[in-house]
Amino acid sequence: MLRETFSALRARFFSGKSESEIRLGNQLWAQEIAQTQGTLPISQVKQRERVKLAGTVQSVTFSAPDATLSLRATLYDGSASLVLCWLGRQEIPGIRPGAQLLVTGMVTTLDGSYAIINPSYDILLFEG
C-alpha cells in the first residue's frame, strides 16, 4: 500500500515535467536509495565485482525467436547504465520501463557493456 501511495505521488509530481527534470528526479531518487540501502553508483562498477545497485529500467528487450531465451533490461541510475539479463525468461512481471529496482549480482560484460546475469532484484516503484 505504501509503495502504491508513493508511486501515485511520484507520478503526480512528474506529470508534465520535461525529460531533463525526470532524469534529475531519477538521480535524486538513486542517491536517496544509495544512502539508505548502501548501493553503488553504476558508473563505479567494475567487472567481476559483486554489487548492489538501484536504478530505473529504461528499456526491456526480448531475445529473437531463434536465439537463446532471455530478457534484457537497461538499468539507469543517473550516473551510467548497465544491462540486466535473465536467461531462460521471456517475461518477468513488473520488469518494464519505468520500474525502479534494487538489484544485486556479479558484474560481467555482455556484448561490450557491463551487465549482471540473472540478478536478484526487488521492485521498489513503478513510474507513472
What burial class does residue 118 get, using C-beta atoms within 10 Å of its C-beta: 0-12 exposed, 13-18 middle, 19+ buried?
middle
User: Residue type for 99, please?
Assistant: A
pLDDT average per 10 residues of sequence, the chain (128 residues): 46 64 68 75 96 94 85 93 95 92 96 96 76
CB contact at 8 A, 11 and 127? yes
- Could you please state the CATH topology (level 3) that the domain comprising 2-126 is classified under: OB fold (Dihydrolipoamide Acetyltransferase, E2P) (2.40.50)
Whole-angstrom Cα distance, residue 39 to residue 33?
A: 7
The pLDDT, as a whole number, for residue 118 is: 97
CB contact at 8 A, 105 and 119? yes
Of 100, 116, 82, whose CA–CA distance to 14 is shortest?
A: 100
Whole-angstrom Cα distance, residue 45 to residue 37?
A: 16
Could you tell me the residue ranges of all domains in the chain?
A: 2-126
pTM here is 0.75
Q: What's the CA angle centered on 30, arms 50 and 58, to 5 degrees?
A: 85
The pLDDT, as a whole number, for residue 23 is: 66
**Dihedral sign (CA 82, 88, 91, 94):** negative
The pLDDT, as a whole number, for residue 78 is: 85
